[in-house]
Structure 1
């Protein structure tokens, strides 16, 4: 095992000059610990297991490995990246395209469930160098003969522990069995349970194990622990969220059923709360993430599995509704707040039955935590979210772009550009966040205006 927190220059690596120049233009001067520990091994062609959390820079680590080994003159799939969810696959593909800006005529294709299958088959017929996708959809393309795996020399398993949590073990085995035996395999995982160890033995050849601790030098996370009776857990959560109310808060629950029940209870208590768990359809999941990321909902109640890979940059408060059985998961949860130098707060609710979990967390983190009294909820009413999301019944397939939406909203009699928040455009719909005080004007502008020379239906998302 290599355990390191050192960082060094990308220029020390045997990368092509064009890749190094592009890294410099992107502002990537020094490697993160996971990059410094894994990239030399990756570039040597070794199989690598990397244990690192979300936000550690692992995509750049395996992305540079993929691009370094690529023969762009050979127009056939040479690298395959498997991700647990469509959101993560889209993020990875986007990062790979940024890293590959200096490579002419490279094609990176995304194949995920929830997208039109026929269009993906057509894209595959035109060829690709690197394929990024979710296990279910990749397996389907392999099984039906649409995805040629004969030229694949590198396999990347991103967030492998989450893919196992989601029940993809058999699917992964089917995919791996279709790949050439002589290949390089890279596996990245936030945790390293026994199932990952078994997976590594089955899929990899003499892998190098690299582990880095999450960097927290530039952030401050305050932890508070509240000991309660089990019957008071729901009330304690309401008081904590009310007392420490912030623009973006996430509550971690243990099961899908509990997640939905907690979200429903919070909504009934006046919180703008949404549930995120494995029973949601992909479209429901997309809409939930859009509303939370654009600040038109304050509370996201989620399971660990569903929350992995979330691209939410600023979380003010993390609440553990129950303590996690795995102390590494606890560290991963609270690490979602206090990023980029911001002050973060993590609150954990526990009862007598969870003392053993608390002890394991203390041992993992090397410090002791003491119970505090649950704060009293303020008497004031809860603030409403600062933004409201408008859903437009037109997207990429109708050639709608973010610039078209901004232009429509800011035209004569419209709203200011500063009053527009995040815009997300999907295949057949688009979402735009606007400040609450101007949403009626924004709604009318889109209802009566035109996008791409035509009118689209628009509604307020509830």
Structure 2
């Protein structure tokens, strides 16, 4: 019988959070008294914890049935929520289901029903149609970033999923914008609204909005100078199209600035690699579409650059939400050609940055990223990787950075100056009696 290991104190300790914020406290209290909750709160304010805590409070930790389903618009958000749950040391089994992941792996994980399933609409609907999910026991439904799911065209899949769940007792919907119209199929009668979007005064103070004028319509030379001006500070550069993302990243590379690019047409491993390098500091610059505007919880992002102007105010808000998260500050930059104007929805005064003539390339990162062809399904964890690199690769603790373990592979940041020797030392060694490929992540 699975015993309840979960407590709020344990969860916060696992996440290295000292205390709940006001929004999270209000969510806990409201969920005690109300079955249907609509939570509106700014990106980066801690919404994930605000719905996970009430969900966990309602779990029966002694049953071996699926009791909660969390539906999200993107695989990145699904993986992020899964990671938060694991860090909370709940004692509850969680399974993540999303497109681009091996369905056979997910099916094996669902044979013994997990307490919590988190996933994207298309893959969850597929599992339900195949009979892989025990739907009768699901009592709690969370629709995270619900407005984004509707924008992405998932309405039919979500309607099918909800229509397949006969025992729903609690529904929690979250959004970072008020532009959310809840369809009837959600069954969201008499919901209680928690609106923390209006308490933005402090957030606005933490987020500065500035502009840079480019004399060239193409703007790439101005972007290059701007990144030199900022230096190697974590920065996300938003473009409106996938081809522009790759082109911009390539042109920066030709000028001596290394960046990773990220968009929805990439293979999952390549997407994981790009985010892993950005998250662990191997690169300071991520060029991306609006795919990265939601769901990515990467701390300490200092700058957001709107290389292309966002199509709507909502997109502008969500892009900017990648910085100035929680108590941190950040700056959003509008990179404008002489033909472009500051959007009308930007009502505050926007300071213009004048770039100096003499600039130096940003410093190269002291980290590089190893790809290790083994992960959770190979029974390899972070402790195994640290031990292997320390014992076989002769690395000291301070030479090993952030480690991310996926199902069948892992990424680990290694001090660049030690990387070549370490690869040579571990070439014929085994991790947990397994010979695996280890190389610099592409």
Maintained 8 Å contact 1:142/1:175: yes
CA RMSD of aligned residues (A): 3.0
Equivalent residue in structure 2 for 1:289, among 271, 275, 284: 275
Structure 1 pair 378–435 and aligned structure 2 pair: CA distance change class (3 A)? farther
**Equivalent residue for 2:345?**
360
1:385 aligns with 2:371: no
Stretch of structure 1 that moved more, 79-88 or 32-41: 32-41
1:35 to 10, 13, 24: 24
Map residues 227-306 of structure 1 onto 2, 5 A cutoff: 227-229=213-215, 231-306=217-292
- Counterpart of 2:159 (choices 159, 170, 173) is 173
Q: How far is the alpha carbon of 1:416 from its aligned partner?
A: 1.8
- 1:143-166 Cα distance to aligned partner (Å, 9 max, x none): 111212122222101122332343
| Cross-structure match for 2:175 | 189
Deviates more, 1:246-255 or 1:198-207: 198-207
Distance 1:445 1:387, change over 3 A: same
Q: 2:416 aligned with 1:436, yes or no?
A: yes
Residue 92 of structure 1 corresponds to: 81
Distance 1:67 1:46 in 2: 14
Paired residue for 1:320?
306
For residues 88-117 of structure 1, what are the alpha-carbon distances to aligned partners after superposition, in whole Å with 9 as ceiling and x for unaligned?
Answer: 22332343355563xx6x433322333332
Higher mean C-alpha deviation, range 183-192 or range 214-223: 214-223
Measured at CA, do residues 246 and 283 of structure 1 come closer, stay the same or move farther in structure 2, by a change above 3 Å?
Answer: same
Aligned residues: 436
For residues 454 and 141 of structure 1, the distance between their equivalents in structure 2, rounded to whole angstroms, comes to: 32
What per-residue deviation string (whole Å, max 9, x for no partner) do you get for residues 23-82 of structure 1?
575676754233244333322233122122333222222112222333344432221101
Q: 2: distance between equivalents of 1:84 and 1:125?
A: 24
Residues 215, 311 of structure 1: CA spacing in aligned structure 2 closer, same or farther, 3 A cutoff?
Answer: farther
- Comparing 247-256 with 448-457, which one deviates more in the overlay? 448-457
Provide the residue aligned with 1:143 in structure 2: 129
Give the TM-score of the pair, scaled to structure 1: 0.84
CA distance in 2 between counterparts of 1:317 and 1:24 reads: 28
Gap regions ≥5 residues in structure 2: none
Say if 2:392 is the partner of 1:403: no
CA deviation after TM superposition for structure 1 residue 401, in Å? 2.5
Q: What is the aligned partner in structure 1 of residue 374 from structure 2?
A: 394
Contact 1:35–1:58 under 8 Å retained in 2: yes
Partners of 2:41 and 2:58 lie apart in 1 by 23
Query: Residue by residue, what CA displacement relative to the aligned partner does 1:217-242 show, whole Å, maximum 9, x if unpaired?
Result: 69844432123356142222111111
Q: CA deviation at 1:343?
A: 5.2
Contact 1:247–1:295 (8 Å) recurs in 2: no
Tell me, yes or no, if the aligned pair for 2:324 and 2:330 is still in contact at 8 Å.
yes
